[in-house]
């Protein structure tokens, strides 16, 4: 009589969909070669399995990170005016920070490297001498020639706010900001935007400490360095994590 492990991958995956997802399957995969084989080529999310993307490199230097933050920086002090329109003299940079290098169902190999991709030269560069804790599932924004990073998971859930001046140089270093007010609880997988001299944080979660996502909204005044909790009015939005947030005119 055939055993469970003699079944094909697709049938085994179909059976696994009815079991508690990823967190419990991780321990099983360590002692079961068959499940470990599946988990090495499939990613589990919300009880579903998806093929893992192949490793990606660019000029043999870019890491295939997951759950990093990405922000766009376009210097405005060198812009020119042509035909009554502002024309940037630089195409700007994409700034990548942190993330993890794991390629299975376990978050591991957390990163604290700061990468930039220059859109003018189409080249990557790394400011790799950061002496701050590595992290993943954090968020970042750019405001007035500085990059701000909040929270994330780095062995434990964090609620620190970091900043580094832009443009980046080989000597650029993050510093932790001194803040006051209604400081958000530690979290990861939240969203973050900047609008009118304020950073807005929404949602996130704390893993096994609070498996439910939250619908908390905070704002941080970039001038006074004060956090403020914004209580909900009307119908509370869905508790969310691993989501996105944008600013459109005067709305978040």
The domain segmentation of the chain, as residue ranges, is: 4-51, 69-229
> What's residue 158's pLDDT?
94
Cβ count within 10 A of residue 18: 7
Looking at residues 99-120, what average pLDDT do you find? Answer: 79
Write out pLDDT tens, residues 30-49.
546 665 566 555 555 545 55
Question: Residue 16 above 70 pLDDT?
Answer: no
Mean confidence (pLDDT) of the chain: 78
Question: Residue 181 above 80 pLDDT?
Answer: yes
Query: What beta strand segments (E) does 119-235 contain?
Result: 123-127, 139-143, 146-153, 157-165, 175-176, 180-181, 191-195, 198-202, 217-221, 226-229
> What's residue 28's pLDDT?
57
CA-based R_g, the chain, Å: 21
Write out pLDDT tens, residues 214-223.
889 999 999 9
> What's residue 78's pLDDT?
58
When pLDDT is cut at 50, 70 and 90, the band that residue 224 belongs to is very high
- Residue 196 backbone class (left: φ over 0; alpha: ψ -120 to 50; beta: rest): left
Cβ count within 10 A of residue 110: 21
Are 160 and 144 contacting, i.e. CB atoms less than 8 angstroms apart?
A: no
Q: What is the largest CA-CA distance in the chain?
A: 79
H or E element that contains 12: helix 9-16
Rounded CA-CA distance 19/51 in Å is: 19
H or E element that contains 9: helix 9-16
Sign of CA dihedral 209, 210, 214, 218: negative
**Superfamily assignment of 69-229 in CATH?**
Kelch-type beta propeller (2.120.10.80)
Least confident of 35-39, 152-156, 183-187: 35-39
Query: Is pLDDT larger for residue 50 or for residue 225?
Result: 225
Cβ count within 10 A of residue 62: 14
Question: Residue 90 above 70 pLDDT?
Answer: no
> What's residue 252's pLDDT?
74
Write out pLDDT tens, residues 50-71.
555 444 444 454 456 788 999 9
Say if residue 167 is preceded by a cis peptide, omega within 30 of 0.
yes
**Which strands make up the sheet holding 191-195, listed edge to edge?**
180-181, 226-229, 217-221, 198-202, 191-195
Rounded CA-CA distance 144/197 in Å is: 9
């Amino acid at each position: 009589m055939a055993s469970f492990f003699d079944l094909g991958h697709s049938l085994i995956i179909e059976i696994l969909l009815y079991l508690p997802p990823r967190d419990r399957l991780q321990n099983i995969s360590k002692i079961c070669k068959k499940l470990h084989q599946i988990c090495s080529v499939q990613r589990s999310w919300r009880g579903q399995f998806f093929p893992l993307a192949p490793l990606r490199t660019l000029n043999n230097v870019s890491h295939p990170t997951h759950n990093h933050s990405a922000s766009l920086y376009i210097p405005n002090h060198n812009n020119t005016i042509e035909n009554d329109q502002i024309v940037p003299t630089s195409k700007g940079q994409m700034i990548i920070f942190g993330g993890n290098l794991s390629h299975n169902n376990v978050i591991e190999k957390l990163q604290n490297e700061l990468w930039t991709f220059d859109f003018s030269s189409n080249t990557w560069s790394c400011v790799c001498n950061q002496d701050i804790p590595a992290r993943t599932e954090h968020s970042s924004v750019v405001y007035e020639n500085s990059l701000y990073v909040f929270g994330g998971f780095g062995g434990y859930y964090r609620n620190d706010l970091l900043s580094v001046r832009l443009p980046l140089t080989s000597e650029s270093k993050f510093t932790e900001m001194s803040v006051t007010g209604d400081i958000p609880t530690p979290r990861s997988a939240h969203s973050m935007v900047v609008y009118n001299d304020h950073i807005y944080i929404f949602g996130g979660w704390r893993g096994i400490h609070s498996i439910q996502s939250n619908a908390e909204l905070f704002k941080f005044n970039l001038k006074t360095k004060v956090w403020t909790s914004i209580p909900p009015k009307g119908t509370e939005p869905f508790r969310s994590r691993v989501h996105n947030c944008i600013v459109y005119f005067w709305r978040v």
